[in-house]
Amino acid sequence: MMDKKFARRDLLKGALAGLAAIPIVAIATRAEAAAAMVDPNDAQAKSLGYIVDTNKVDAKANPMHKAEQKCSGCVQYQGKASDAAAPCTIFAGKLVEGNGWCKVWAKKP
């Protein structure tokens, strides 16, 4: 068994390098979250009629749609009603616009 001692200076350098990496990891995590928005042109989004703005829903194609129906008021929306975007249980691993809408909208109780 080898007994190797670390110099205090080397230990402090390693600790400072580790602390310096924390903001880099935080920035990378935020970038991933921002990139995880549902693309309205995605096959699943198109099949469910996902629109990023509930005011732009085609009334003829979706006669049951009402202007007050927004993702932020849907039971599938995993954020607060005031959040601009949040995860949706329908689109696993992706965020939807709070002002969006899709055909499976169901009012939160």
Mind listing the pLDDT tens digit for each residue in 2-44? 667 767 787 677 777 776 767 765 665 554 555 489 999 999 9
Copy the structure tokens of residue 39: 């693309």
- Each as own residue / partner, the long-range contacts of residues 50-53 (CB below 8 Å, 24 or more positions apart, any chain) are 50/91, 50/96, 50/100, 50/101, 50/102, 51/100, 51/101, 51/102, 52/97, 52/99, 52/100, 53/97, 53/99, 53/100
pLDDT of residue 30: 57
Q: For 37-84, what is each residue's pLDDT tens digit?
A: 999 999 999 999 999 999 999 999 999 999 999 999 999 999 999 999
* Domain spans of the chain, in order of start: 7-36, 37-109
* Confidence at residue 9, expressed as pLDDT on a 0 to 100 scale: 80
Q: Percent helix, strand and coil across the chain, each rounded to 5?
A: 35, 10, 50
Q: What is the pLDDT of residues 85-95, one digit of tens each?
A: 999 999 988 99
CATH topology of domain 37-109: High-Potential Iron-Sulfur Protein; Chain A (4.10.490)
